[in-house]
Amino acid sequence: MPTRGEVLVVPLGGLGRIGMNWTLYGHDGAWLLVDAGMSFPEEEMEGVDAIVPDPAFLAPIADKLLGLVVTHAHEDHIGAIDRLWPYAINCPIWATPFACRALERRLEEASTLDEVELNSYPVGGSFEIGPFKIRSVRMTHSVPEPVALAIGTEAGTVLHTGDWKFDPAPMVGEPTDFDALREIGDAGVLAMVCDSTNAHKDLEITSEAMVREAFMRLFASRKGQVAICCFSTNVARMASAAVAATASGRHVAITGRSMRNSQENARGLGLLDDVPEFLAEPSHLRGLDRAQTALVCTGGQGEENAALAKLARGDRRLPSFGRGDTVVLSTRVIPGNEEAVEKVCSALRARGVEVLMGADTIDGFPLHVSGHPGANELRELYSLVRPRFAMPVHGTEMHLTAHARLARGAGVEAAIVSEEAEVIRLAQGGARVLGRVDAPKLHLSNDENGNRVPYRAKTATA
């Protein structure tokens, strides 16, 4: 049990792998969980569709686990929630309004919404959970309402950055709250637990505004149909497609359930107030001139059941794409998905479709920008926050090591590259690895439980 003079940090995922971000914080006899995502199996595993930390390992501290705070609505940060709550874990959850809506939908589908305590906190809001005094800070990323969490304790403040970048014009929501970051830094930060995804690269500062400009030029210059393919949670990208389509005299439809849900969630919260309405069904594009139509869809990772693969197969429920039409994969291909993506792209090319990838540009403007900070942005954050200790997370060993080197260069007393399930003790006296806990992984399968755990968890909580 953690004492009053220390903060224990236990990363349960996201280290040495991509995805499954879970971080446990312990202080003064209590525990707090930040994010509960999932990751996908590295190789094909028969029947396995997601990997999460085995919640049975949390059973001994279940009554001391006071809450889960969510930083943003990406699958690698929230994907485990509707599968594990309330069966295996049932602490209250705090999330921003956009993430709350996404979670409500999922829990509703699982018929468990009534059994889970879901609290909403505003971006920039402060709240207390037991001995943890939490202040959320507005950041920018590739989803609405990403926040960093300043977790205040008697032993010092830990800044958990979540996923972030410094986008000066995010298109949905406002830019990063630099004043809040500086204020938190001025008050003194014991440690910063920070995103490492692009730590090994010096990147120019990029913005969703640049992607919007690329879309504007693309839509204006193409004579055929245009489809933009992006993650369903990338509401800014969706908005840019709608704005660019309308500006070039096109009607734009969105397709795919996750895309429609995400759009509705964002619109309901007023995040798309200045953005033209989408046609609800791609079939509403029928009969229009090809130069007057546009489509926004998912499937940029080559997923067989997503709209892009259907477009490539010539599915009759979608507009028929062929010679003169353009498809943009406005996304980065996640390592491991290259083959699936290539398969879909070649099928599209075989139909005569022009296929543009995220790395392509239009008049120098990018069709995709990363949602994570490069080395320059990391250095800027370190100069604002000035933590004593750095804990790189969210990356493979290469990313974590590059991040640690950068942090030392930025003047931290120590940078701790840890592994999943290690217990790191942070205190005024110093930071060190205490040991490791036995935290096995659970492979979730696509079975008659509708993908929700557990048979096992029922025994664990019994």
Interface with Zn ion by CB under 5 A: which residues? 74, 76, 163
Residue indicated by tokens 């589908």: 109
Q: Which is nearer to Zn ion, 2 or 371 (CB)?
A: 371
Listing DSSP states for 228-277 in one string gives EE--TT-HHHHHHHHHHHHHTT-EEEE-SHHHHHHHHHHHHTTTTTTSPP
The Cα–Cα gap between 402 and 151 comes to 25
Least Cα distance to 190 among 31, 30, 66, 25 occurs for 25
Q: Which two structure tokens, joined as six digits, stand for 233?
A: 């949670």
Residue indicated by tokens 């794409």: 321
Residue indicated by tokens 């933590």: 387
Residue indicated by tokens 């930060």: 189
Residue indicated by tokens 């869809």: 297
Beta bridge partners of 149: 136, 160
CB of 143 to Zn ion, least distance (A): 6
CB of 189 to Zn ion, least distance (A): 21
Burial of 217: CB neighbours in 10 Å, binned 0-12, 13-18, 19+: middle
Q: Which is nearer to Zn ion, 290 or 403 (CB)?
A: 403
CB of 364 to Zn ion, least distance (A): 27
Q: Which is nearer to Zn ion, 54 or 163 (CB)?
A: 163
CB of 118 to Zn ion, least distance (A): 20
The Cα–Cα gap between 199 and 203 comes to 9
Q: Which is nearer to Zn ion, 163 or 177 (CB)?
A: 163
CB of 198 to Zn ion, least distance (A): 12
Amino acid letter at 170?
Answer: P
With vertex at residue 395, the alpha carbon angle to CA 271 and CA 306, rounded to the nearest 5 degrees, is 50
Contact between 337 and 368 (Cβ < 8 Å):
no
CB of 239 to Zn ion, least distance (A): 18
The Cα–Cα gap between 433 and 411 comes to 21
User: What is the phi/psi pair of residue 198, to 5°?
Assistant: -115, 25
CB of 146 to Zn ion, least distance (A): 7
